[in-house]
Amino acid sequence: AQTVTQSQPEMSVQEAETVTLSCTYDTSENNYYLFWYKQPPSRQMILVIRQEAYKQQNATENRFSVNFQKAAKSFSLKISDSQLGDTAMYFCAFMSRTSGTYKYIFGTGTRLKVLA
């Protein structure tokens, strides 16, 4: 069974600094997708960034980038130039498609606080 582990329950970072959130996963599949979702306080979850496992190049979305290490099953999120609006819960998620069915598994989340 697939698992997703986020080992950092809480983190804080100074505004304008860089922070990295960790995520590891376990799977026997070769084709899958990885995501980072952001859930601001009392607001709905939104996608931050996604990575297809077959792509070697790390995904980047403006200030957000990932370090995808397939062999190590590691998928960390780097936030550069942190802003107060980045304060949120961040969830790492794994998705696989097998025989037409989809499975999404989320980690337990990392609460990030950006300090002024």
Partner 1 sequence: DTGVSQDPRHKITKRGQNVTFRCDPISEHNRLYWYRQTLGQGPEFLTYFQNEAQLEKSRLLSDRFSAERPKGSFSTLEIQRTEQGDSAMYLCASSPPAEPRATDTQYFGPGTRLTVL
Nearer to partner 1 among residue 3 and residue 14 (C-beta) = 3
**In terms of C-beta density within 10 A (0-12 exposed, 13-18 middle, 19 or more buried), how is residue 102 classed?**
exposed
- Which segment (22-30, 37-45, 59-67, 74-82) binds partner 1 by CB under 8 A? 37-45
Q: Does 8 bind partner 1 (CB under 8 A)?
A: no
Q: Does 11 bind partner 1 (CB under 8 A)?
A: no
Select the residue interacting with partner 1 from 8, 11, 33, 76 (CB under 8 A).
33
Are 40 and 55 in contact by the 8 Å Cβ rule? The answer is no
Between 56 and 95, how does the x/- string for binding to partner 1 read (CB under 8 A)?
-----------------------------------x-x-x
Between 12 and 31, how does the x/- string for binding to partner 1 read (CB under 8 A)?
--------------------
DSSP string, 3-68: EEE---SEEEEETT--EEE--EEE-S-SS-EEEEEEE-TTS--EEEEEEETT--SPPEETTEEEEE
Q: Does 3 bind partner 1 (CB under 8 A)?
A: no
